[in-house]
Amino acid sequence: MIRLFAAVLALLAASPALAEVPITIVIHGGAGALEKGRYSPAEEAAYKAALNAALDAGYGVLEGGGSALNAVEAAITLLEDSPLFNAGRGAVFTYDGKNELDASIMDGATGKAGAAAGLAHVKNPIRLARLIMEKSPHVMMIGEGAEEFAKAQQMVMVRRSYFRTEARWRAYKEALAKEKAKRKGATSLPHEFKYGTVGAVALDAKGNLAAGTSTGGMTLKRWGRVGDAPIIGAGTFADNQSCAVSATGWGEYFIRLTVARDICAQVEYGGKSIAEATTDVIHNRLQASGGDGGVIVLAPNGEYVMDFNSAGMFRAVRRGDRRDAAIYKE
């Protein structure tokens, strides 16, 4: 009997379900034309400091026993508040010189999701996405209707001028001049102006996953264009049975290929590791279609991937004593 009891204890101790969950958070600040030398050492330090601050905000939630959803929201909120990234405060400008913001969030434990697009006055779009998920029967809201819902939820609303930074305004003027010089009314842009996004994926102590993404969209976008960031399955996806993904890149391609969901589907139905699935989607399917960008992916066992087929991607991870932040290809 004693031997049997010991054997049972040993079996339980070895069970993955009862093993300590390695709380983890992975974040990104956008992928694109980030060749080495683009930023000065001081600028690189500023970007990494902002990434690490967001990383610590999210990890602090997890370390205190908080949920993956809370960690994702906390990390992305800080990234939205930074003028360095194309989300929230640092959003790029549309063709008409305005800011239009999008965001989404998904709970891997329940499959619930929330998203908002075309926002102009919501200080933190990721928080609105969460409220849509938890306080409404809907998944996505857009434009004025979404902002009316935000007001009803007593969210912090700001003037349009809040999102205007001098750096983004100069970049807008430069992009507009290049666009008009190329051909009047064109929709194509120099590659360096195309996109940028922020996102986070997290794994909490209960083994639950969550993912979120927020963006100011594509520079000079027109006619209410919406990219992949607020599209569940394209820019954001989370499922405890497979993985959590936040994407960044040329949104039209990510939508067509349902990039975030495809990675998780290959894990769930194809038996692939997250590394194998990410390689197939980002370096084979996406690249073959003409799209570029990257993803952060987190598995239920704590394994993670930060991969991209562009020149670089702002990215960072924290798990236990391990911490890393990077910008360029290594």
With residue 308 as reference, give the H or E element that holds it: strand 304-308
Pairing between β-strand 244-249 and β-strand 140-142 as defined by DSSP bridges? unpaired
Tokens representing residue 215 in the block: 């963006």
∠ CA 26-118-311, nearest 5°, is: 40
With CA atoms as reference, report the closest residue to 34 among 75, 108, 84, 109: 84
> 119-151: b or e for each residue (b if 16 or more CB lie within 10 Å)?
bbbbbbbbbbbbbbbeeeeebbbbeeebbebbe
- Residue 238, burial from CB neighbour count under 10 angstroms (0-12, 13-18, 19+): buried
Taking CA atoms, 80 is separated from 11, 123, 214, in Å, by: 45, 8, 8
Alpha carbon distance 281, 260 (integer Å): 9
Can you tell me the distance from the alpha carbon of 278 to that of 258, in angstroms, rounded to the nearest whole number?
Answer: 13
Catalogue the active-site residues. Answer: 197
At residue 158, φ and ψ (nearest 5 deg) are -130, 165
